[in-house]
Amino acid sequence: MRKDDECRAFVKKVIMSRFFKIIMISTVTSNGFFMALWTSYEIRYRLFRLLELSEIFFVSICTSELSMKLYVDPINYWKNGYNVLDVIVMIIMLLPYTVRELMGRQFSYVHIADGMQSLRILKLIGYSRGIRTLIIAVGQTVYTVASVLLLLFLLMYIFAILGFCLFGSADKGDHDNWGNLAAAFFTLFSLATVDGWTDLQKQLDNREFALSRAFTIIFILLASFIFLNMFVGVMIMHTEDSIKKFERELMLERQVTLMGEKQVILQRQQEEISRLMHIQENADCKSFSELVENFKKTLHHTDPMVLDDFGTSLPFIDIYFSTLDYQDTTVHKLQELYYEIVHVLGLMLEDLPQEKPQSLEKVEEK
């Protein structure tokens, strides 16, 4: 049992606040902007002091954030993957200073550590729910995408062997593009992405290979128009599912927030009723109803009121309106049925033999 629960609760409140998130997003974004300026040698020379101060400020903010989160919950902190990503980014952030201190400034691979500083921008993932949704969508497509890529690899393997046998002959073959299996794979990758495939086909045409055009067209149709589009379709489907799930979670959070506000209002009303009951005991009101009527006169139109009556609930109103729509539809259909019955009865009356008048019958007899 920790003895600093109040301090930890305060730090947690600060971390979860919207103001703290805005500070972190602004800090990471500004550091990314300064890193873009750092890539220019002229600007780096002119603004060296400003870039150095911005680096110290960024490292200090990130170190403070890590310390505060570890102080709030040092055990559950490591169970969140985005927190682990922040720790990795923090290690990468301190890597150039460590390499320069241990290996010296002239170490040949120190530029790799400097280039890895671009990963700092990944700290925005933890503060952007939309980006996390997309990452979840990509993670859900791993198995399906792996199956599609495996099929594409098998297709490229078949066509690589076939292309090597057709166009990589030792005497007059295209050794640069089809001379071995690795070169054939690279050429097929260019064909699959439809990047410079006309130049590759022109080289085959110059060597007068008979089946080269049929080979190229069939592979592009299979690899580019089928497998790559299938890959894109799988990504889009899973992304749409993740976005719908994200919208449902937002709706549930809003409902929970509304329910919390409703409970607060109900609690206030109960407290008001308890206060009225207490006032009734010391007031001259004859009954509680009279006291409530007097209380109503003091209400304003802006005072919040929660009505728990079933007839005033939104679900009941929705069902009531739907029932009225069904009732109108039923009445309309009944009217059409009545019209049809009347029409049929009218036709039946027309078909019945009509009775002649008695005067006409006497004239016919004479």
Is a pLDDT exceeding 70 seen at residue 16? yes
Whole-angstrom distance, CA of residue 365 vs CA of residue 355: 16
- For residues 111 and 155, state if they share a domain: no
Mean pLDDT of 310-315: 56
Residue 315 located in a structural domain? yes
> Domain with 67 in it: what CATH number?
1.20.120.350
Is a pLDDT exceeding 80 seen at residue 353? no
- For residues 117 and 150, state if they share a domain: no
Q: Which of 217, 38, 35, 16 is nearest to 122 (CA)?
A: 35
- For residues 45 and 142, state if they share a domain: no
Is a pLDDT exceeding 70 seen at residue 45? yes
- For residues 217 and 330, state if they share a domain: no
Q: Between residues 16 and 309, which one has the greater pLDDT?
A: 16
- For residues 49 and 107, state if they share a domain: yes
Mean pLDDT of 240-263: 81
Residue 272 located in a structural domain? no
Residue 57 located in a structural domain? yes
Whole-angstrom distance, CA of residue 334 vs CA of residue 331: 5
The domain tally of the chain equals 3
Mean pLDDT of 282-303: 59
Strands (E), the chain: none
Question: Which tokens is 163 given?
Answer: 């292309």
Domain boundary, last residue among 242, 269, 290: 242
Domain that holds residue 235: 132-242
Residue 195 located in a structural domain? yes
φ, ψ dihedrals at 4, nearest 5°? -110, 45
Share of the chain above pLDDT 70, in %: 83
> Domain with 209 in it: what CATH number?
1.10.287.70
Residue 332 located in a structural domain? yes
Q: Between residues 144 and 281, which one has the greater pLDDT?
A: 144
- For residues 92 and 183, state if they share a domain: no
Structure confidence at residue 292 as a pLDDT band (50, 70, 90): low
Is a pLDDT exceeding 80 seen at residue 317? no
- For residues 93 and 166, state if they share a domain: no
- For residues 48 and 85, state if they share a domain: yes
Mean pLDDT of 236-251: 80
- For residues 172 and 102, state if they share a domain: no
Contact (CB, 8 A) for 51 and 27: no
**325 burial via Cβ count (<10 Å: 0-12, 13-18, 19+):** exposed
Q: Between residues 145 and 217, which one has the greater pLDDT?
A: 217
What is the reported pLDDT for 157? 92
Residue 297 located in a structural domain? no
**Taking the CA atoms of the chain, what radius of gyration do you get in angstroms?**
40
Structure confidence at residue 288 as a pLDDT band (50, 70, 90): low
Domain boundary, last residue among 127, 158, 190: 127
- For residues 160 and 117, state if they share a domain: no
- For residues 7 and 122, state if they share a domain: yes
- For residues 156 and 228, state if they share a domain: yes
Residue 256 located in a structural domain? no
Q: Which tens digit of pLDDT belongs to each residue from 154-201?
A: 998 999 999 888 887 777 777 888 888 888 899 888 888 888 888 888
Residue 271 located in a structural domain? no
